[in-house]
Amino acid sequence: MAPSSSPRTVVITVPALILSVAGAVIFLFFLMSSLSYSPPSCSCPPRSTVQTSRQQQQQQISATAKDIQWVKTQIEVNGLHMQDNVLRKGINPRTRAQQLQDLIQYKGISHYEKEEEAKNHTSLPCPGELLVEEHHSNYGEPWAGGRDVFEFLAESSQISPESRVLEIGCGTLRVGLHFIQYLNPEHFHCLERDELSLMAAFRYELPAHGLLQKRPLIVKGEDMDFERFGSGFDYDLIYASAVFLHMPDKLVWVGLERLVGRLKPLDGRIFVSHNVKFCSRLGGDECSKRLKSLGLEYMGKHTHDSLLFNHYEIWFEFRRFKV
C-alpha cells in the first residue's frame, strides 16, 4: 500500500505579497479616477444663452428679410407678373353688393328648393353685410394694415404670449385678431362703443378665424370705464389706434388716469397713433407736467412702414415710471 501524501503548503513570499497589494492599490486608483472623471469644458454657449436664443426665435413676429426674399423667389419661379385684374372663368365676378343681394333674396348662398327649407340652419346666424365683409372697408385703408400695426406694437413692446394687452377701440378686430391669435386665452381685452363693430367681431371675425376658444374680453362702453376688465394684473401693452382723435381731450385724460395704475411699471407701454393733440393742446410744458403727475413718461415718437402697401403710421410711446 502506497504511503499517504502529506497536505501541500502554499508559501507566499514577501515580494509577491507586496506586488499584490501594490496592484490592488493601482486598480483602486484608476477606478476612483474614472468615477470622478469630468468631461473637458465645452466651448458651447451657456445653456441660458441657448434658451434665450430659442425664445427669440419663437417670438419672431414680423417677416424677416429671408421671408420676403423667399416670397419674391416663389413669384419669380412661378412666372407671376403684376398685371391688371381681369375676371376670368373660374373666378366669381360678383361684387359685394351682388353677393349681399343673393344672401337677402335666397336667405343664403345655396338655393333651397322649398320655401320652408330656406331657413337659416346655422348655429351662429350672421348678418349678410358681415358675410360679404363690408366691414373690411370701414377703415379708409386696406384691411391687411391690421397685421402691420400688430407687428409694430408687439415687437416695440416686446410682448410674449403670456402678456396682457388692452386695446381702446378695437372695432371689428382688424388689429385685435392678430393679438388674440398670438396671446394666451383671455389675455386680450378691448373697450369698444360701436355696436356694428362688436357684431362683426363676435359674429364673424372670431368664428371665421377659429378664435372663439381664445375667449377675448371685449366690452361695450364709451366712458373709459375699465372696471369690468377685473383686477389683480397689470397690462404689458395698452394701445389706441386713431381713437383718441375722436374723443374729447378731457375724456382722454380721464382714461389715462384710470389706466396708469393698470399698466406694468417700467416695462409696460402705452402707444397712441397719429397724434397726441390731447396733450399738445395744453401748451408749453403743461403736458409733461400733467403726465408726470399721473406717473407717465413720454418715451418718443415712432414711424412704422407697412409691409404690403405704401403707407406709414406715427405712434407715440409712453411708460409708467412709478412702481
pLDDT for the residue numbered 96: 82
Q: Report which DSSP code applies to 110.
A: S
Question: What does the alpha-carbon distance between residue 245 and residue 240 come to, in Å, rounded to a whole number?
Answer: 10
Helix (H) or strand (E) holding 156: helix 145-156
Q: Report which DSSP code applies to 61.
A: -
The candidate with the shortest Cα–Cα distance to 281, out of 241, 321, 247, 240, is 247
Question: What does the alpha-carbon distance between residue 143 and residue 244 come to, in Å, rounded to a whole number?
Answer: 20
Looking at the DSSP bridge assignments, the partners of residue 191 are 168, 219
Grid coordinates 468615477 are at which residue?
35
Q: How far apart are the first and last CA of the chain?
A: 111
* pLDDT(40) > 50: no
Q: What is the pTM of this model?
A: 0.75
Grid cell locating 147: 397685421
Q: What is the pLDDT of residues 96-136, one digit of tens each?
A: 888 888 777 776 666 566 666 656 567 777 888 888 899 99
* pLDDT(159) > 70: yes
pLDDT for the residue numbered 281: 94
Q: What is the pLDDT of residues 45-90, one digit of tens each?
A: 455 444 554 455 457 888 889 988 988 898 888 887 877 766 666 6
Quick one: residue 65, left, alpha or beta (phi over 0 = left, psi -120 to 50 = alpha)? alpha
Name the phi and psi angles at 161, rounded to 5.
-55, -25
Q: Which amino acid is at 185?
A: P
Q: Strand 237-240 relative to strand 269-273: parallel, antiparallel, unpaired?
A: parallel
